[in-house]
Copies of this chain bind each other. A is one copy, B any other.
Amino acid sequence: MHMTKPKPKPSTTGRSAVAVDGDIKAGNLRRLRRIEGQVQGLQRMIEADRYCPDILSQVASVEEALRGVSRELMRNHLKHCARKALRGDVAQGDAAIEEILAVWTRHAR
């Protein structure tokens, strides 16, 4: 498992991760490329007026695959960003906890 320290990229706006595990990153890119293919497949199924329960079954598969992506993102976040913040001072730790809970609220069923 190697880790890549994100380097500032001039063309990228938005916050960066503290660190990203190379294997988590590679796994998520692989998952998302497969998901992209599944979403294209869903479009073909709809174009072809396929049977709705069959399409719904494929949608559920995409959702399961996305849950895999979320879990690995949360793993990386806890291992690097959250761990670093929770080892810092109380205010930093509390802010990190509130942020995890906001993610939880959006993803918990």
Contact (Cβ within 8 A) B70 A108: yes
Given known pairs A63-B109, A74-B104, A78-B101, the reply for A17 and B56 (CB within 8 Å) is: no
Count of interface residues, chain A, beta-carbon cutoff 8 Å: 68
Q: Which residues of B contact A79 (CB under 8 A)?
A: 94, 97
In A74-90, the 8 Å CB interface with B consists of 74-79, 81-83, 86-87
Each complex incorporates copies of this chain amounting to: 4
**Within 8 Å of chain B (Cβ to Cβ): is A60?**
yes
Taking the closest CB of chain B, its distance from the CB of A18, in whole angstroms, is 9
Smallest CB-CB A-B distances: 7 pairs? A109-B109, A6-B49, A52-B77, A15-B51, A12-B48, A86-B86, A78-B97
